[in-house]
Amino acid sequence: MTEAENLVGPPQALRTLSSHLSLVVPVYNEQENLPALCDRLRQTLEAKEIPYRIFFVNDGSRDGSLAWLRQLAATDSRIRILSFSRNFGHQISISAGLAHADGDVVVVMDADLQDPPEVIPDLLAKWSEGYEVVYAVRKKRKELLAKRGAYALFYRILAGISDVEIPLDSGDFSLMDARVVSLLRSFPERNRFIRGLRSWVGFRQTELAYERMARHSGEPKYRTRHLMKLAMDGFFAFSTVPLQIATYLGLLAAGLGFLYLLYALGTRFLYGNPTGWTSLAAIVLFLGGTQLMILGILGAYLGRVYEEVKQRPLYILDEVIGFPG
Ligand code: UDP
Ligand code: MG
């Protein structure tokens, strides 16, 4: 893409699809959800006469998901399947789907029907108005207050220390113009925090409120540990502010140390008070703790740099099904 093509032009009059809408759906052990998902997608999109293709990414499922999809692809030419050699994770699955999806627009959605297919025509309507990115924002989170608070805090901090503003309560469920998709595809990084990259590219972005459903069936695959990793990826991929913490803490510790030295010298000579073991232990612990913490932060960046320079492939495809030619 040349620089001129990359510029943000004036909003166009109502756009229409010239080919089709592509869906990217990561699938990890979703056999109970796939039939209902496909039915609702077909009903919704056919009713609105929206031509579509579905790119399922099978992320190393251990249940019958792949077998079911394979059967579907045999009878429906709109179905494409990318099947990984093992489980690579949600964000990588989305990346693989985006790398293969074609069409004028791409919608990313989960397979568990938490992202209702009925919202897709509304997302598309926003795109017609001229927006390149339309992210679905959930109206109500049906989650614990603590989890909600953690999310809000995460996005608040991220906005503060980086130049990505991810709207609170938006997830990966979104519609992107082919131009945005081809940009995301061209990003070489391994550490992929899709909702951050999506916000980072810019263009005209807007939101659309929807009611997020409970999972149709089965257990959520995202555990707290994964969410923590996702949050850390967000911080480290979009900001180097944590690295500067060392500088500020160092200044603070040196300043405090100096003041304390004055105090200790003063009391020693004026009153003859020896300052003893307790204060020494406190100082050593404070300094040792901060130094270890800073080393940890350095390590987090170093590890990620190492991941990037290895240049390993993002994922390994075991099989692709339904692609012509
Ligand atoms: N998923 C995946 N790989 C994984 C975990 C999840 O492809 O390692 C898929 C899963 O099948 C679903 C979507 O990612 O379509 C979101 O997963 P989940 O519903 O478990 O997450 P949550 O809704 O709690 O964010
Ligand atoms: Mg879910």
Range of the domain at 67: 3-224+313-321
Does residue 16 sit within a domain? yes
DSSP bridge partners of 106: 22, 176
Note the ligand closest to the C-alpha atom of 151.
1
Domain co-membership, 20 together with 84? yes
Confirm or reject: Cβ of 114 under 6 Å from ligand 1: yes
Q: Do 8 and 66 belong to one domain?
A: yes
- Does a structural domain hold residue 128? yes
Residue 231: which pLDDT band, with cuts at 50, 70 and 90? confident
* pLDDT for 12 beyond 60: no
Model confidence, pTM: 0.76
Asked if residue 210 has pLDDT above 70, the reply is yes
Closest to 301 measured CA to CA, from 244, 237, 246: 237
Atom of ligand 1 nearest to the CA of 88: 8
Residues 187 and 208 in one domain: yes
Measure 27 CA to ligand 1 centroid, in angstroms: 7
Give 324's pLDDT tier (boundaries 50, 70, 90).
confident
What count of other Cβ atoms lies within 10 Å of the Cβ of residue 237?
18
Interatomic CA distance for residues 34 and 41, integer angstroms: 10
**Tally of domains within the chain:** 2
Lowest mean pLDDT among 57-61, 284-288, 304-308: 284-288
Other CB atoms within a 10 A radius of the CB of residue 312 amount to: 10
The CATH number covering residue 120 comes to 3.90.550.10
Within this chain, do residues 43 and 137 fall inside the same structural domain, yes or no? yes
Q: Is the CB of 115 under 6 A from ligand 1?
A: no
| 12 and 99 both lie in a single domain | yes
**Angle, CA 284 vertex, CA 280 and CA 285 arms, to 5°:** 115
Reading the block at residue 180, the tokens are 């945005």
Verify that 22 and 140 share a domain, yes or no.
yes
Which CA distances in Å does 282 have to 19, 80, 272, 277?
68, 62, 21, 9
Structure tokens belonging to residue 134:
């339309």
Q: Are residues 180 and 305 in the same domain?
A: no
- Claim to verify: residue 144 and residue 172 sit in the same structural domain: yes
